[in-house]
Amino acid sequence: MDILISGGEPMDNNDKDRNKTEHRDNDWDIGQMLIRLLVTAVVVGIAAYLTPGFSINSLWSLLLAAVVIAVLDHLVQRFTGISATPFGRGITGFIVAAIILYATKFIVPGFNITVWGAIIGALVIGIVDAIIPGKAM
């Protein structure tokens, strides 16, 4: 059975299935968000360990920083369309990732980073993110 869409064109069952799939992709999935937060925490922890001028005092600071970084990344991507992936979007993504890292310093207690630490940290996050599957930023 065909369904008429607003332009008067018939829509077959394949179009309905495709629309359901597209709508499902835009839904907020708690499982994907938790995996993204876990990957972000691991990548930021590795970057803090490897980067001079970048330290995290406790596990709770690391987890809170992962949440803050994910939220800031989502907001930047939502309002500007710029993804904060250090290597995925070139120099713009690299700069946005460094700014997000540095801004997190002011929100999360126990998250200490210098400007150079944020720049080097964005580079380390880009490298580690390329190795670890998933999207860290």
What confidence score (pLDDT) does residue 111 get? 93
The pTM of this model reads 0.69
Q: Concatenated DSSP letters for 33-91? A: HHHHHHHHHHHHHHHHHHSTTEEE--HHHHHHHHHHHHHHHHHHHHHH-----TTTSHH
68 closest CA partner among 105, 113, 98: 105
Q: What kind and span of H or E run contains 3?
A: strand 3-4
Amino acid at 59: L
Question: Cα(29)–Cα(60) distance, rounded to whole angstroms?
Answer: 23
What confidence score (pLDDT) does residue 116 get? 93
What confidence score (pLDDT) does residue 60 get? 94
What confidence score (pLDDT) does residue 101 get? 92
Residue 114 exposed, middle or buried by CB count within 10 Å (0-12, 13-18, 19+): middle
List of residues 6+ apart from 81 with CB closer than 8 A: none
Tokens of 40: 């972000």
Q: pLDDT in tens for each of the 137 residues of the chain?
A: 444 444 555 555 555 545 544 444 455 578 877 887 888 888 889 888 988 889 999 999 999 999 998 888 888 878 877 666 655 567 777 888 899 999 999 999 999 999 999 999 888 887 777 776 655 55
